[in-house]
Amino acid sequence: MAAFLALISSLMWGTADFFGGFVSKKIPANKVLVLSYPVGLFFLFIYALMLPGEITLNGLVIGLIAGVVGILAMGSLYLALAIGPMGVMSPVTAASSTFIPIAMGLLVGEKLSWIAWTGIGIAILSVVLVSMETSPTGGRLVISGKGLALSIASGLLIGTFLSLVGLASTNNGMWPLVFARLMSSILVLGYFIIKKSEKFNTGYDSKLFALVIISGALDATANAVFVLATFDGYLSIAAVIASLYPAATVILATAFLKEKLTGIQFVGIGMAFFSAGILSLV
């Protein structure tokens, strides 16, 4: 069940990132986050009320720290996706996000079998294969150094965020996530108020507005489902399965943005789901 929940969270994250990255190509990323984060906060608050949990000082502190890390992660990710191409930036972020949760899981005593390590290796390889994109002319794809740096930084920050919320006590339920999203919402709103050079509603149309709402709801739900996965299994394995979200992002980018998949990317997507199947046996 833990592996299944982690896979569901990865599909939700991949879809949310596609929508958020698409809108970020049209309008500044801070205008996307200032709307999507409060939307996510609303959904997480509902989930916290639905799932039994208590508010503790430890959960509050973890949530607030995770909130700072989370907004830095998403800001970096949306900037990287806006630079593009999505089919490269998203997988690089995902691969980078696996290392900290794996290390953290080992530090807290998680003992992984050879089957688990095999699945983790295939998962990381699949992410690398999915990222092997060529240019429209068939030559070597030119990748922005800035975009690549932002992707790696975002991945490490996402891994830190997942480790923080994944290691919170199960007695806290979803409240650490609520506090994390509240802190992130306050920070992005404060930044927007201080730095904005235009009105919030400029650049938005009904389609973009709807996509941001959907992105915020999916991202928050993915976080909640991931935490449920860590309640029932290893943090390291849940994080690796969740990192497979580029498969969804790349498929959506292919379907709607006409970014063509190469044969090696198809192999990578197949390996992603194969690795999820292996890790579900652990």
Whether 137 shows a pLDDT value over 50: the answer reads no
The token duo for 136 is: 């429209």
**Tens-digit pLDDT profile for residues 193-214:** 887 656 666 667 788 889 999 9
The token duo for 31 is: 């205008």
Q: How many residues does the chain have?
A: 282
- Note the pLDDT of residue 38: 92
Q: Where are the domains of the chain?
A: 2-279
- Note the pLDDT of residue 41: 95
**Tens-digit pLDDT profile for residues 167-192:** 888 899 999 999 999 999 999 888 88
Q: Which residues, other chains included, contact 170 with Cβ-Cβ below 8 Å and sequence gap of 6+?
A: 231
Of these ranges, 38-47, 130-139, 260-269, the one predicted with the greatest mean pLDDT is 38-47
**Terminal-residue alpha carbon distance, the chain:** 11
Q: What is the C-alpha to C-alpha distance for residues 84 and 171, in angstroms, rounded to an integer?
A: 40
